Amino acid sequence: MLKALRLVAFSIPALLCLSSAVVAEFNQTPDFTQGDADKGKQIYQRVGVCVNCHGWAGDGESGRNPMSHAAAANLRESSLDAQGLYDVIRCGIPGTQMPYHDRVSYKDDRCFGMKLADFQPGQKPLMGKTFREKQMLDLIAYLQKYMIGHGKPTYDECALYFESSADRACSYLKGN
């Protein structure tokens, strides 16, 4: 008991110090008009590696990482608005492979009123990459401009995504 208390007394100030130095807290209701869709592609592709599970087209199939066993949602058919997307990306979806992307989530009650310790073992939310709020807004603008509400992936969309390697990456869509 005493030992546990000592541990807590030591680690709480250390953790607080660390988190305030590294993480700027996300605003819960940011100004979504500040997002830049074309910058968001970097976040989707490289920073957040959303592409691993959701695929380049966001449909949960096209070009996702074959090593990923997660069957991810089809973002093209998502009915979420900007705030809904923001909340899902910030908090993830506990009990699924969809990770959360804010280091401070589940440290207090900002996500679903729950802390990490409140979840049953198999239901704990998984932690993904953390990025800055502006990157989050760029990412949402990207999803809204290039994926949500789009139908089946087309060659032109694929070429836009893969740029100079479009020939190789998108030949399977020729004629679509």
Nearer to ligand HEC, 55 or 110 (CB): 55
Q: Is 117 exposed, middle or buried (0-12, 13-18, 19+ CB in 10 A)?
A: exposed
Q: Which two tokens stand for residue 67?
A: 């090593």
Distance CA 113, CA 99 (A): 17
Interface with ligand HEC includes 91 (CB under 6 A)? no
Q: Is 78 in the site for ligand HEC (CB under 6 A)?
A: yes
Cβ closest to ligand HEC, residue 20 vs residue 95: 95
Of 99 and 110, CB closest to ligand HEC: 99
Of the two residues 110 and 142, which places its CB atom closer to ligand HEC in the complex?
142
Q: Does 54 bind ligand HEC (CB under 6 A)?
A: yes
Task: Select 70 or 159, whichever has its Cβ closest to ligand HEC.
Answer: 70
Nearest to 89 by CA among 119, 118, 48: 48
Q: Is 42 among the residues that bind ligand HEC (CB under 6 A)?
A: no
Q: Which residue in the shown chain puts its C-beta closest to ligand HEC?
A: 50
Binding residue for ligand HEC, selected from 23, 37, 49, 116, defined by CB under 6 A: 49
Phi and psi (nearest 5°) for 137?
A: -65, -40
CA–CA distance, 142 with 13 (Å, rounded to integer)? 38
Single-letter amino acid code for the residue at 35:
G
HSE of 31, CA atoms in CB hemisphere, 13 A? 2
Residues at the contact surface with ligand HEC, assessed by CB under 6 A:
48-50, 52-54, 68, 70-73, 75, 78, 80, 85, 88-89, 93, 96-99, 101, 128, 139
